[in-house]
Structure 1
Amino acid sequence: MSETPSDRTASPPASLDAPSEPLPEALVRRGGVSLVWLIPLLALAIGVWLAVKTLAEQGPTIHIEFKTASGLAAGQTKVKFKDVEVGQVTAVDVSADLKTVIVTAELKHVFADFLTEKTRFWVERPRVSASGISGLETLLSGAFIALDPVTDGRPRRDFTGLEEPPLFTTSEPGRRFVLRAPTLGSLNIGSPVYYRQIQVGQVAGYALDADGQAVSIEVFVSSPHDALVSPRTRFWNASGIDFSLSSAGVKVDTLSLLSVLIGGVSFDTPETIAATPLGASDQALAPGEDAGHFMLYSSRAEAYAKTYARKERYLLFFDGSVRGLAIGAPVLLKGIDLGRVLDVQLQFSVEDAQFRLPVLIEIEPDRIAILGDSGKLEGQRMVERLVETGLRGQLKSSSLLTGELYVDLDVYPEAKPARVARHGDYGVIPTLPAQLEALTTQLANILDKLERLPLDRIGEELSQTVAGANALINSPELKRTLVELEGALVGARATAEQLNDRIAPELALTLQQTAATLKATSATISENSAVSIEMRRMFQEVSTAARSVRLMADYLERHPEALLKGKGR
């Protein structure tokens, strides 16, 4: 059992040498807290405050996945937004599958609300591309991770970094539009977007559709030019050089050297469009309105072409070759574009063991302006009436150099009467042989007629005739006749020489004398010559004598008795 201090005080141990007087007792007094403890308490409070403040100001930690970590280093690489440091890379690790790298970075607290599923990260490095040179400032400062914050979307801390920097950030004013085309062509990211040959944007990206049938191209049009895009706007591919050859001559159309090298897109809102796929409004799209998808036409001419909502499909069966007729070839009526060719097939009929070539065309009847009462020509009735009046289809050549064909519809009043037949779901328009095919048929008929001629008998008779002619030529009579003819020719030549040497001078002298005689005769019978004067006098006397004889005859006719009695008084 232990003893307490009070017990020891109350009962001191006995000692032979201890004094008889009692020892003094110590008094214990309990006081307040010492001031020495205030210093550690104050330090503890400051430490807690600093810890709480640090935790409160500490930004989010994110993980970014890149294909490579070129130029990135933990503790050195910065995260920047508009060249302002907003974070730092704390670690660079390799992913579990060894295919990518995971970059861990800490950002400032103010950026916690901007980390959403639409936020983008990329490494800013020096880059040289067809659209320009970027990132030259990193040659001295080193590569850094750029940030494009977006508030829309769900919060996120794990991101996949972009391999190429985006052309436009979300903070840049403008609009994005999606174009759909069968192929990408020469377009690429960074290709310019033009409006009336002024660059107003760029191609921001492209992707193949899920069904693989088309390509979706994303373009960005900066503000305020994005207000020029309306539901009736048409986009077309302005890449390369548009070279066309027509009856008007050679036409070359291009925008700029940059569009020739890296491609380009141009857009406009034509005033002649009859119908549009996105509505009839001419107003620009509102900032919050869904732009939908625009079609990317292959050329300016195709973009400016009129389109109509009502389309009709017909079949045409051709007997001859359709080489040169491609899908998309035009269908013309009186030289006006009325539609296009949709499909060309080769079919074999088991019943008659013949090949058939059906051509499916699509026409737009609204391209034909109706005069008068149009209620009688609704729908296919107009085509049926045209066929009854002689509408026929025919293949014609659009170019002698390329051999391309097109379907020509025209009215032939002399054609045989016909009607629009039905083949499945399509009406069938009668056709005529192509011009070359018709010429070939005529040539075949001529050859057929030539084959019917008795060429063997004609050849035998011709051979006999040639043999007879040969016998006649080689006969002695013909030779003797030729000798005699040669002698006659020699005599004629001698006679001609005699005429030339003897008779010709005498004949010339005779002609000179004759001319002199004629001259003298002319002088003799001239108006002022003596002979002429005497002859005129003689003619006057003869005239006077004739008048006297006529008077005497008249008198005797009245007085015949004057022959016996004489003239009375």
Structure 2
Amino acid sequence: MTETEREPDIRSPDPIPEAVARSRGRLSLVWLIPLVALAVGVWLAVKTWSERGPIVTIEFKSASGLAAGQTRVKFKDVDIGQVKSIDFSPDLKTVIVSAELKRTFADFLTEHTRFWVERPRVTLSGVSGLDTLVSGAYIALDPGQAGRSRRHFTGLEQPPVITTFEDGGRFRLRAPTLGSLNIGSPVYYRQIQVGQVIGYGLEPDGRAVGIEIFVAAPHDALVTPDTRFWNASGLDVSLSAAGVQVDTQSLLSVVLGGIAFGTPDTLDPAQAHDPYPEVFPLYRNREAAHARIYARKERYLLLFEGAARGLTSGAPVRLKGIDIGRVLDIQLQLDTEALEFRIPVLIEIEPERIVRRGEAEAPDERRLVERLVERGLRAQLKLDSVLSGALYVDLDVDSGAPAGRLVRQGEHLVIPTRPGSLEAITTQLASVLEKLDTIPIEQIGRDLSQTAAGANALVNAPELKGAVIELEATLAQVRATATRLDRELGPELTKTLRESTATLERARALLSDRSPLYVETQRMLQEVANAARSMRLLTDYLERHPEALLQGKGRGR
């Protein structure tokens, strides 16, 4: 035994207790509890950190309806995050909303991702966000699939019309002005809504407006490189010889504006086209959209002597009733030497509107116009609308016109003209008035007055009045005679007719096949027929035996 393990001396009167030290070979189990708790805590921290979603900051103009720790972030009405804090920007112009999203959305937070606050909205295009009246406002997310990763975003003030995952095609249009179009304005095809306007803005040069539209699938396949877009807003009213025509897509397009599109049918064969253009032009109406567009244009000068009231820039130039160009400019010139006025009119023609046939190689443009002028091609002002008095330039070949010549004045070739239709009518009216002046209207008036006086004297003559009185008396006598004959002869004629009817009835009874007379007559005719047959037999016998007249009929004969 060691000294520490020795028993105390029993012989000592006051033994002193001593501590006994024992060595331990391993740790106590008590320390395992905090170690396990520490490990679990570390594991939970690592797990929480690894499962923690991305933190994004969204900048809004105001935090109306948002609350830290309460407002949710949703995608397709499914919670994907929550607002953690709301703070101001350094310049105090906006609010910065910090939100934590689910880890699965980290890959969709790109530069194309959009955030906005979903709250009740009432616009001309419809009502949205009514469910937030009960659940409260929330932040909606439209994820972007392509682009650089981003964690700071600027929130939209209005929800986007089209989200990323909607199938369809986006197209860009270019128009001189926006008109009544707005975000949400409908897009029509054959008066059926197939899309809507999703954005607009000025072009970089500031000379036009760029409009972005979305056409939902499968209708986006209807858009081809030849498709024409036109503004279908409001009412398109046109006045022509056929009457008043009103063209509109729907009442919604009248209020909100709208765009329509279609592909015009042409006589030209189908051709291969390049890929879709980056920008489609937006025409002002259907008529302008379906009009053919040609790149080559030729300008000519026309010189008119008469008045050109009603002719304006942009007026059509027509050949055989078909538009081939338009008027560019109109001037009034004075020849100071002759002191005469004339009106030069500059027109622009699209030669490709005239399809040429019968020549292997197209002739020179100027030579062709020269030949037409030699054969009588002339320009004339004609009335386009009776109500408005608008004029247009009519080109036509007058076979009776003298041979003309195409000349040049300044930079332009001059096509000969002839007096307008209004001037021709005025000349004809003047000629008619001159002929009317040669007619002796006063003498004719006197003769008509004398004729009327003679007719009046004849009508008021006493002899005519007496003849009329005698004619009335004669007619009265004829009427009295007819009345007397009707009164006296009527009963006699009725009686006679009745007797005649009775006689005919009796005659019909005698001639009936069942009457005694008819039976007796039939019997008599039969006996006469038998007698005639006996006579014929006697005659035949005497012809064969004439001696029988003397000797009689012998035996055996």
Structure 2 length normalisation: TM-score?
A: 0.66
Q: Is the 8 A contact 1:274 1:307 kept in 2?
A: no
Q: How does 1:296-335 map to 2 (within 5 A)?
A: 296-316=282-302, 324-335=310-321
Cα distance, 1:197 vs. partner?
Answer: 1.6
Deviations 1:138-167 (A, max 9, x none): 111111111100111111122222221111
Choose which of 162, 176, 201 in structure 2 pairs with 1:207. Answer: 201
Q: Quick one: structure 1 residues 54 and 323, their matched pair in 2 at CA, closer, same or farther if it must change by over 3 Å? A: farther
Deviations 1:62-121 (A, max 9, x none): 222222222122222211100011112222233333333222222111111111111111
Deviations 1:465-501 (A, max 9, x none): xxxxxxxxxxxxxxxxxxxxxxxxxxxxxxxxxxx9x
Asked if residue 363 in structure 1 is aligned to residue 349 in structure 2, the reply is yes
**Secondary structure class of the residue paired with 2:361:** helix
Q: How far apart, CA to CA, are the structure 1 residues paired with 2:334 and 2:174?
A: 37
Map of 1:167 onto structure 2: 161
Map of 1:250 onto structure 2: 244
Q: Is the 8 A contact 2:237 2:246 kept in 1?
A: yes
Q: Is the 8 A contact 1:273 1:306 kept in 2?
A: no
Cα distance, 1:30 vs. partner?
Answer: 6.0
Map of 1:553 onto structure 2: none
Q: Quick one: structure 1 residues 123 and 365, their matched pair in 2 at CA, closer, same or farther if it must change by over 3 Å? A: same
Q: Quick one: structure 1 residues 48 and 237, their matched pair in 2 at CA, closer, same or farther if it must change by over 3 Å? A: same
Asked if residue 84 in structure 1 is aligned to residue 78 in structure 2, the reply is yes
Cα distance, 1:318 vs. partner?
Answer: 5.5
Map of 1:118 onto structure 2: 112
Q: Quick one: structure 1 residues 47 and 369, their matched pair in 2 at CA, closer, same or farther if it must change by over 3 Å? A: same
Cα distance, 1:348 vs. partner?
Answer: 10
Q: How does 1:438-449 map to 2 (within 5 A)?
A: none
- Which residue identity does 1:421 align to in structure 2? R
Q: How far apart, CA to CA, are the structure 1 residues paired with 2:99 and 2:319?
A: 69
Asked if residue 414 in structure 1 is aligned to residue 401 in structure 2, the reply is yes
Asked if residue 194 in structure 1 is aligned to residue 188 in structure 2, the reply is yes
**Secondary structure class of the residue paired with 1:271:** coil
Aligned residues: 419
Asked if residue 393 in structure 1 is aligned to residue 379 in structure 2, the reply is yes
Q: Is the 8 A contact 1:122 1:164 kept in 2?
A: yes
Q: Which moved more, 1:95-104 or 1:177-186?
A: 95-104
Q: Is the 8 A contact 2:380 2:418 kept in 1?
A: yes
Cα distance, 1:311 vs. partner?
Answer: 3.2
Q: Is the 8 A contact 2:370 2:405 kept in 1?
A: no
Deviations 1:164-205 (A, max 9, x none): 111111111111111222222222211111111211111112
Q: Quick one: structure 1 residues 291 and 364, their matched pair in 2 at CA, closer, same or farther if it must change by over 3 Å? A: closer
Map of 2:234 onto structure 1: 240
Q: How far apart, CA to CA, are the structure 2 residues paired with 1:293 and 1:275?
A: 24
Q: How far apart, CA to CA, are the structure 1 residues paired with 2:308 and 2:33?
A: 104
Q: How far apart, CA to CA, are the structure 1 residues paired with 2:22 and 2:47?
A: 45
Map of 1:375 onto structure 2: 361
Moved over 6 A (4+): 23-28, 345-357, 437-444
Q: Is the 8 A contact 2:373 2:403 kept in 1?
A: no
- Which residue identity does 2:121 align to in structure 1? R
Q: How far apart, CA to CA, are the structure 2 residues paired with 1:70 and 1:343?
A: 58
Map of 2:322 onto structure 1: 336
Asked if residue 138 in structure 1 is aligned to residue 100 in structure 2, the reply is no
Asked if residue 128 in structure 1 is aligned to residue 122 in structure 2, the reply is yes
Q: How far apart, CA to CA, are the structure 1 residues paired with 2:420 and 2:92?
A: 66
Map of 2:487 onto structure 1: none
Q: Which moved more, 1:300-309 or 1:224-233?
A: 300-309
Q: How far apart, CA to CA, are the structure 1 residues paired with 2:338 and 2:52?
A: 87
Cα distance, 1:367 vs. partner?
Answer: 2.2
Cα distance, 1:435 vs. partner?
Answer: 5.1
Deviations 1:417-470 (A, max 9, x none): 33142644x5444445655578899999xxxxxxxxxxxxxxxxxxxxxxxxxx
Q: How does 1:54-73 map to 2 (within 5 A)?
A: 54-73=48-67
- Which residue identity does 1:393 align to in structure 2? A
Q: Is the 8 A contact 2:313 2:329 kept in 1?
A: yes
Cα distance, 1:136 vs. partner?
Answer: 0.5
Q: Is the 8 A contact 1:328 1:340 kept in 2?
A: yes
Q: How far apart, CA to CA, are the structure 2 residues paired with 1:224 and 1:87?
A: 34
Q: Is the 8 A contact 2:240 2:385 kept in 1?
A: no
Deviations 1:311-350 (A, max 9, x none): 3333445677766444433211121110223455789999
Map of 2:147 onto structure 1: 153
Q: How does 1:8-27 map to 2 (within 5 A)?
A: none
Choose which of 79, 92, 98 in structure 2 pairs with 1:104. Answer: 98
Q: How far apart, CA to CA, are the structure 2 residues paired with 1:101 and 1:329?
A: 57
Map of 2:179 onto structure 1: 185
- Which residue identity does 2:401 align to in structure 1? E
- Which residue identity does 1:381 align to in structure 2? R
Q: Is the 8 A contact 1:236 1:265 kept in 2?
A: yes
- Which residue identity does 1:34 align to in structure 2? S
Choose which of 254, 259, 269 in structure 2 pairs with 1:260. Answer: 254
**Secondary structure class of the residue paired with 1:189:** coil
RMSD: 3.8
Q: How far apart, CA to CA, are the structure 1 residues paired with 2:41 and 2:247?
A: 75
Q: Quick one: structure 1 residues 430 and 49, their matched pair in 2 at CA, closer, same or farther if it must change by over 3 Å? A: farther
Q: Is the 8 A contact 1:232 1:280 kept in 2?
A: no
Map of 1:521 onto structure 2: none
Map of 1:562 onto structure 2: none
Q: Is the 8 A contact 2:374 2:403 kept in 1?
A: no
Q: Quick one: structure 1 residues 148 and 28, their matched pair in 2 at CA, closer, same or farther if it must change by over 3 Å? A: same
Cα distance, 1:248 vs. partner?
Answer: 1.5
Q: Is the 8 A contact 2:383 2:421 kept in 1?
A: no
Cα distance, 1:44 vs. partner?
Answer: 1.5
Q: Is the 8 A contact 2:404 2:416 kept in 1?
A: no
Deviations 1:358-392 (A, max 9, x none): 65433222222334225252444322332343434
Q: Quick one: structure 1 residues 151 and 36, their matched pair in 2 at CA, closer, same or farther if it must change by over 3 Å? A: same
Deviations 1:505-546 (A, max 9, x none): xxxxxxxxxxxxxxxxxxxxxxxxxxxxxxxxxxxxxxxxxx
Map of 1:508 onto structure 2: none
**Overall identity of the aligned pairs, in %:** 65
Q: Quick one: structure 1 residues 159 and 27, their matched pair in 2 at CA, closer, same or farther if it must change by over 3 Å? A: closer
Asked if residue 31 in structure 1 is aligned to residue 9 in structure 2, the reply is no
Map of 1:530 onto structure 2: none
Q: Quick one: structure 1 residues 422 and 103, their matched pair in 2 at CA, closer, same or farther if it must change by over 3 Å? A: farther
Q: How far apart, CA to CA, are the structure 1 residues paired with 2:338 and 2:19?
A: 144
Q: Quick one: structure 1 residues 133 and 27, their matched pair in 2 at CA, closer, same or farther if it must change by over 3 Å? A: closer
Runs of 5+ consecutive residues of structure 1 not aligned to the other structure: 1-8, 10-17, 445-499, 501-569
**Secondary structure class of the residue paired with 2:385:** coil
Q: How far apart, CA to CA, are the structure 2 residues paired with 1:107 and 1:350?
A: 85
Q: Is the 8 A contact 1:275 1:308 kept in 2?
A: no
Q: Is the 8 A contact 1:341 1:359 kept in 2?
A: yes
- Which residue identity does 2:109 align to in structure 1? L
Runs of 5+ consecutive residues of structure 2 not aligned to the other structure: 5-11, 431-461, 463-557
Structure 1 length normalisation: TM-score?
A: 0.65
